[in-house]
Amino acid sequence: MIKLPPRTGQIIYGPIHSRRIGVDIGINLLVQEGKTCNFNCVYCQYGVTGNPTSYNKLKTGWVKPELVYTALEKELSKLAETGYRLDAVTFSGYGEPTLHPKFPSIVENVKKIKEKYYPNAKLTLITNSSTLKYKRILKTVKIFDQIIAKLDAATDKTFHSVNRPVNKKLDIQTIINNLIGLSSTVEHLIIQTLLFNTINQSLISNTSVEELKALSEAICRIRPKEVQIYTIVRAPALSGVKPASESQLKELKKYIDERCGFEVNVKIY
């Protein structure tokens, strides 16, 4: 498996042919050297978190909004001139995008630029779901055409072992409750769950029967538009982390289908 290089200094990247989003232009608000995130997930394709930070703690080093607008307009105008098909413009990048202190205003302006060139492309957010408790973030995420929110665990022990949040007091039930609240107000919430195994006894995988059942229960409480279940395809942050089997991916789907009926659309990638 290949480990992706850091996107240091790269604000706009793509187009990328994503398995789950389609043809996508990405926006990286986190252009410091190394990954900037409030999680340090064991499976992350960008390696360990070089700049760990909690929400609203890191005050300097963020990309200036004007650079985002200039770079995006340049890229989208170039693609539109050639008739290039684009499915999405996505906030993701090299860490957690909602940590940027100017995130709300950046989203509003990016949406205007996207509408100018690609009105049918979906403005998309990929988030680790940890900042949805903040009113300014919750208000902003509702601007998006689709919100892809991570949920890799539904018990605190597994959550802290897998996602390794900077804030050790953060609990998974708070995140689940915030997702339930968001799902009740938007129609375009997608839950994205990565399953993995481990050969390192100091790590906890999220593929046990107990964890899969807990995940299925949480997802049914959230009632998202869609659930995307997948596993590792690129080199993870920790070498002891290995892909889940196809049968394990199907097992989580089975538990969700049994618990939710077929009200939640579950896709395996």
Q: Residues 137-195: pLDDT tens digits?
A: 999 999 999 999 999 999 999 999 999 999 999 999 999 999 999 999 999 999 999 99
Q: What is the pLDDT of residues 72-125, one digit of tens each?
A: 999 999 999 999 999 999 999 889 999 999 999 999 999 999 999 999 999 999
Residue 145's region, left for phi above 0, alpha for psi from -120 to 50, else beta, is alpha
Cis-peptide into 15, omega within 30 deg:
yes
Residue 9: the pLDDT is 64
Residue 6: the pLDDT is 55
Residue 2: the pLDDT is 53
Percent with pLDDT over 90 in the chain: 84
Q: What is the mean pLDDT of residues 208-227?
A: 97
φ, ψ (nearest 5 deg) of residue 124:
-125, 140
Residue 168: the pLDDT is 95
How do strand 241-243 and strand 196-198 relate by DSSP bridges?
A: antiparallel
pLDDT band of residue 7 (cuts 50, 70, 90) is low
pLDDT band of residue 219 (cuts 50, 70, 90) is very high
Average pLDDT, the chain: 93
SS3 102: coil
Tokens 């889940």 — which residue?
244
Prediction pTM value? 0.94
- Burial bucket for residue 35 (CB in 10 Å: 0-12, 13-18, 19+): buried
CA distance 26 to 47: 19
Residue 19: the pLDDT is 84
Percent with pLDDT over 70 in the chain: 96
Range 12-268 has CATH code 3.20.20.70: yes
Are the C-beta atoms of 53 and 166 separated by less than 8 Å? yes
The pLDDT of residue 5 is above 60: no
Of the candidates 175, 29, 10, the one whose C-alpha atom is nearest the C-alpha of residue 98 is: 29
The pLDDT of residue 32 is above 80: no
Domain limits of the chain? 12-268
The pLDDT of residue 225 is above 60: yes
